[in-house]
Amino acid sequence: MPLDRSSAGDPARTLELLWRVPAGTPRRGPRKRLDIDAVVAVAIGLADADGLDAVTMRRVAQRLGVVPMTLYTYVPGKAELLDLMLDTAYLRMSRTDTAGRPWRDRLTAVAEENRALFEAHPWAATISTGRPPLGPGMMAKYEHELSALDGLGLHDVEMDAALTFLLTFVQANARSAAEARQVRQDSAMDDEQWWAANAPVLDRVLDPGAYPTAARVGSAAGAAQRAAYSPEHAWEFGLRRVLDGLAALIDGRAGSVETGPGAR
């Protein structure tokens, strides 16, 4: 299965595009009708509506009213376009000013900002960013998010790892939430309706005596969440556990210092 990942195109050209560096000597001829921002805006609109598979150079060109070959004079291909889309989404993210607040509040804000990003642009959660696009959006995002961990007694590598730990949870939760929405859409029924429709068959084939723990826990979780899986419950439970895990590192660090109102 193909993997959508960042930085899969020509790295030099991608960086030039991300930072809007002019490529070589300007060509003579008619003035260009489009610009990169217009191309990226259309691509993001297609991805938001129909997912990344809908983003092809041909479809973007059609939306812009140009032939596909014209589009290649702005962006070399889909790989570079994907980096531009992702960096633009990062650049437009909301960034909460949490200066002076306790570290848990600051990291919660970072988590919620990224969750909002993935809700607005579900496709962004599906992209592997092991090699992130180092554009202005990515750098502004990274700088902002690291500030939530600065001054806590962590060394630089620990700050980066702690942020990765938090954001990996957020991305995984976003993917699961998107999958749950897709299942509901494809089946044309919510989880309660699905379980009610299939309960008679399940009652015949599943023996609670053979799986006593699974039956007990599954019934309790299903009743509490009104589904086998609740993205909202997974978010609230998981974020607390992530912060608790980081507390073992941050609060236990000798000489850890918080500054500002409400600090420990």
Distances (CA, A) of 111 to 50, 172, 251: 25, 12, 20
Most confident of the following: 15-29, 33-47, 178-192, 200-214:
33-47
Task: Express each pLDDT in 167-193 by its tens digit.
Answer: 999 999 999 999 988 888 888 888 778
- Higher-pLDDT residue of 143 and 228 is 143
**What ranges in 34-155 are assigned the alpha helix state H?**
36-50, 57-64, 68-71, 78-91, 103-120, 136-146
pLDDT tier for residue 228 given thresholds of 50, 70 and 90: confident
Residue 254 has pLDDT above 50, yes or no: no
Residue 73 has pLDDT above 50, yes or no: yes
pLDDT tier for residue 198 given thresholds of 50, 70 and 90: confident
Note whether 52 and 126 are within 8 A (CB). yes
Domains in the chain, start-ordered, CATH in brackets? 11-90 (1.10.10.60), 95-190+227-250 (1.10.357.10)
Looking at every residue in the chain, the average pLDDT score rounds to 90
What is the token pair recorded at 36? 């990169």
When pLDDT is averaged across residues 213-230 and rounded to a whole number, the result is 90
pLDDT, residue 256, reads: 44
What is the separation of C-alpha 3 from the centre of its chain, rounded to a whole number of angstroms? Answer: 15
Distance CA 103, CA 149 (A): 7
Residue 46 has pLDDT above 80, yes or no: yes
Distance CA 203, CA 83 (A): 49
Note whether 249 and 103 are within 8 A (CB). no
Q: What is the pTM assigned to this prediction? A: 0.88
